[in-house]
Amino acid sequence: MLLSICIPNYNRKKHLNNCLNSILISQKKSRIKFEVCISDNCSEDNIEEIVSNYKKFLDIKFKRNKKNFGLGRNIVESVSMASGEYVWILGNDDLVLPKTLEKLDKLFHKFNDVDFFFINSFNLKSSEILKFPQPFDTKNLPNIMKKFSSVKSDKSVSFQELIDPNISFDYLLGIFLSIFKRKMWNESVQSINKTNLNNDKVFSTFENTCPHIIIFGKSFMKSKAFIQSEPLSVNLSGEREWSNLYSFIEAIRIPEILEIYSKFGLSKKRYFYCKNHSLKNFLPSLTKIIFNGKKSGLNYIKLIPHIFKNMIYPNFYLSPLRYIIKKIFLNN
């Protein structure tokens, strides 16, 4: 098995339907050997019905968790089901393009010494998909869509070079951006703090928010990587049940990602540059969190690591000015 597409699922029955249909369409143009691994977080929707419809055409492994473990643990659970040489974790509201699997097959064979692939994606509002007959046919995608990353050319790089806001502003937080060798993931997955991973409060710890970042840092910091600049997936916006925590993710979790990478060997120069960039909206986002209280993650903020240690960076102080200028510009 060359590729495992892993989907940590919770509800969103209509989007999982569209996701699996996009994979089925792409399969018709490729001979790649792949499987789909779905770890369902005890959905209230009838997910089994959707999965059974596609089992006739796709090699699907399906597991329903006894309870909702949260996104972080479910990411880990979905990869634990995989048997492919490479793993691609997709959200249940992501779509693959008609030629995606064909192109991945060529990439894997051409760059078989690469451990980690950055895969660019298109962004699209979910409302654009839902206005068509369901399941959505990817031939109906708009001809022009906004790219997640502005990176313009394919190139071989080191993993450290991917830690760049010009490539990924969230430093690989988006699970749909990365394809990696499963063997290396498995060698590091046990290093995740299980108590924090199993915390049942949404995004209350780094581990239950983005455990993949810890594994990426530990496993791939010294690895060869490849940038696939042409998007091979579509990432939908408008279906985020955690939108009230967006400011918390932006101000607290994304800067923390740099701490993880630094722990595993990210260069000091790159760390400082990226950390400063990650704070470009810090004080306005922190203000929103304080104003909205616990529902926006206020009770998860720690004074010293999340605030005081960020005060040495210029963007900590410049972020309000940037916010004001942006507001004035948008108003005009």
* pLDDT for the residue 218: 98
Please give the radius of gyration of the chain, using alpha carbons only, rounded to the nearest integer: 20
Number of C-beta neighbours around residue 247 at 10 A: 22
What sign does the CA torsion over 315, 319, 321, 322 have? positive
> What is the per-residue pLDDT across 15-67, written as a single tens digit (0 to 9) for each?
999 999 999 999 999 999 999 999 999 999 999 999 999 999 999 999 999 99
> What is the per-residue pLDDT across 208-222, written as a single tens digit (0 to 9) for each?
999 999 999 999 999
* pLDDT for the residue 329: 77
Is it the case that residue 79 has pLDDT exceeding 60? yes
User: Mean pLDDT throughout 87-115?
Assistant: 98
**110 and 224 Cβ atoms separated by less than 8 Å:** no
> What is the per-residue pLDDT across 160-169, written as a single tens digit (0 to 9) for each?
999 999 999 9
Could you give the CA distance from residue 100 to residue 30 in angstroms, rounded to a whole number? Answer: 9
Helices (H), 5-44: 13-27
Q: Which residues contact 141 (CB under 8 A, 6 or more apart)?
A: 95, 97, 122, 124, 234
Nearest to 203 by CA among 326, 292, 72: 72
**Percent of the chain clearing pLDDT 70 (strictly above):** 98
What sign does the CA torsion over 209, 88, 219, 273 have? negative
* pLDDT for the residue 183: 98
> How does DSSP classify residue 174?
S
User: Mean pLDDT throughout 169-185?
Assistant: 98
* pLDDT for the residue 326: 85
Helices (H), 42-121: 47-55, 71-80, 100-110
Q: Of all helices (H) and strands (E), which one includes residue 219?
A: helix 211-220
* pLDDT for the residue 327: 81
**111 and 225 Cβ atoms separated by less than 8 Å:** no
Could you give the CA distance from residue 151 to residue 297 in angstroms, rounded to a whole number? Answer: 32
Is it the case that residue 247 has pLDDT exceeding 80? yes
* pLDDT for the residue 332: 47
Q: How confident is the model at residue 226 (pLDDT cuts 50, 70, 90)?
A: very high
- How many CA atoms, within 13 angstroms, populate the side-chain half-sphere of residue 246? 9
> What is the per-residue pLDDT across 57-67, written as a single tens digit (0 to 9) for each?
999 999 999 99
Q: Which residues contact 171 (CB under 8 A, 6 or more apart)?
A: 163, 165, 213, 254, 257, 258, 261, 274, 278
User: Mean pLDDT throughout 216-239?
Assistant: 95
Q: Which residues contact 250 (CB under 8 A, 6 or more apart)?
A: 281, 285
Beta-ladder partners of 85: none
Could you give the CA distance from residue 123 to residue 128 in angstroms, rounded to a whole number? Answer: 11
Report the chain's terminal Cα–Cα distance, integer Å: 54
Nearest to 47 by CA among 94, 97, 7, 4: 7
Question: Which structural domains are found in the chain, ordered by start?
Answer: 3-241 (3.90.550.10), 268-331 (no CATH)
User: Mean pLDDT throughout 199-206?
Assistant: 95
Beta-ladder partners of 224: 158
Could you give the CA distance from residue 319 to residue 307 in angstroms, rounded to a whole number? Answer: 14
What's the mean per-residue pLDDT of the chain?
Answer: 96
Number of C-beta neighbours around residue 332 at 10 A: 5
* pLDDT for the residue 119: 98
Is it the case that residue 227 has pLDDT exceeding 50? yes
